[in-house]
């Protein structure tokens, strides 16, 4: 029995995997507690939502195979699930591309996924400059693991094994302009970085973030300049 807990799927999405029609798979659990997280139910109330079993998922996938060309794994943190690599192998047997959204705390699993060619696109969150990770994600963080994941992803990108992006959900409460200079140094040499504007339409881990002040688009555009000469492409989303 595959040890993985699927809590929801979006059958086909045009926005979650660049240039692909993808099925999105929501997995429970996370080792971070970002106050602005949009998926608290996947983290705190996973038992209240029945699992979609892997068998049910693959029956669906086999029926829809003709209409989709990608699967996006997100959460929560997909790599918290012991059966994740087995799950990815089953998807790859069907010759479907996989995009993995991760917080980067499990470099060992990322490395295995890359080595086994189980992943085609990795989107890794850069929560903040490393010194501010604990206050951003509300738990202790092993910075070495974050750095290792960044290095593995960039190296795999250089070798043409994967496409990737690093991204930060930006909030004035958590990120000062100086933090983006440090993030630019942390990911120097990367291909793509995305500044994500925070949106609070739904319940969050900490609802005190609901009416949170955000930076203006103009301010975000200003931050993109801090990446000049360090990162190839910087986008605002
Ligand atoms: S935002 Fe991502 S990393 Fe943070 S708690 Fe939510 S799922 Fe975990």
Q: What residue spans of the chain are helical by DSSP H? A: 40-44, 54-64, 84-93, 107-115, 133-137, 143-158, 177-186, 217-224
Q: Distance, CA 76 to ligand 1 centroid (Å)? A: 6
Confidence tier at 38 by pLDDT (50, 70, 90): confident
Phi, psi of 188 (to 5 degrees): -55, 135
Q: What is the pTM of this model?
A: 0.96
Q: Classify domain 6-236 at the CATH topology level.
A: TIM Barrel (3.20.20)
For the cut 80, the answer to whether the pLDDT of residue 28 exceeds it is yes
pLDDT at 201: 67
- Quote the ligand 1 centre to 31 CA distance (angstroms): 8
Q: What is the pLDDT of residue 204?
A: 79
Nearest-5° Cα angle at 169, 164 to 172 = 145
Centre of ligand 1 to C-alpha 188, Å, is: 24
Please say if the pLDDT value at position 215 is more than 80: yes
pLDDT score for 174? 96
> 105: Cβ below 6 Å to ligand 1?
no
Percent of the chain whose pLDDT exceeds 70: 99
Cβ atoms of 69 and 97 within 8 Å: the answer is yes
pLDDT band at 64 (very low <50, low <70, confident <90, very high): very high
Task: Give the side-chain half-sphere CA count within 13 A for 176.
Answer: 4
Residue 32: CB within 6 Å of ligand 1? yes
Q: Is the pLDDT of residue 232 over 90?
A: yes
Contacts of 209 (CB under 8 A, 6+ apart): 35, 36, 171, 173, 198, 200
Please indicate whether residue 168, judged by its CB atom, sits closer than 6 Å to ligand 1.
no
Q: What is the mean pLDDT of residues 94-104?
A: 98
Q: Which residue has the higher pLDDT, 91 or 200?
A: 91
Write the pLDDT tens digit of every residue in 178-209.
Answer: 999 999 999 999 999 999 999 876 677 787 78
């Amino acid at each position: 029995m595959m040890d993985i807990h699927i809590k929801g799927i979006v059958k086909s999405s045009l926005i979650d995997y660049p240039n692909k029609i993808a099925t999105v798979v929501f997995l429970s659990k996370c080792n971070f507690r970002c106050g602005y997280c949009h998926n608290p139910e996947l983290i705190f109330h996973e038992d209240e939502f029945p699992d979609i079993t892997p068998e049910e998922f693959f029956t669906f996938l086999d029926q829809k195979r003709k209409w989709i060309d990608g699967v996006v794994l997100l959460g929560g943190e997909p790599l918290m699930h012991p059966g994740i690599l087995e799950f990815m192998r089953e998807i790859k047997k069907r010759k479907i591309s996989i995009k993995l959204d991760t917080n980067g705390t499990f470099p060992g699993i990322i490395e295995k996924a890359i080595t086994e060619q189980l992943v085609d696109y990795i989107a890794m969150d850069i929560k903040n400059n490393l010194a501010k990770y604990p206050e951003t994600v509300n738990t202790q963080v092993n910075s070495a693991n974050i750095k290792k994941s960044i290095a593995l992803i960039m190296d795999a990108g250089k070798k043409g094994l994967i496409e990737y992006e690093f991204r930060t959900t930006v909030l004035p409460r958590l990120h000062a302009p100086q933090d983006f200079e440090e993030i630019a140094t942390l990911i120097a040499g990367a291909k793509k970085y995305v500044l994500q504007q925070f949106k609070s339409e739904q319940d969050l881990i900490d609802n005190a973030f609901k009416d949170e002040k955000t930076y203006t688009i103009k301010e975000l555009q200003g931050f993109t300049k801090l990446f000049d000469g360090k990162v190839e492409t910087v986008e605002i989303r």
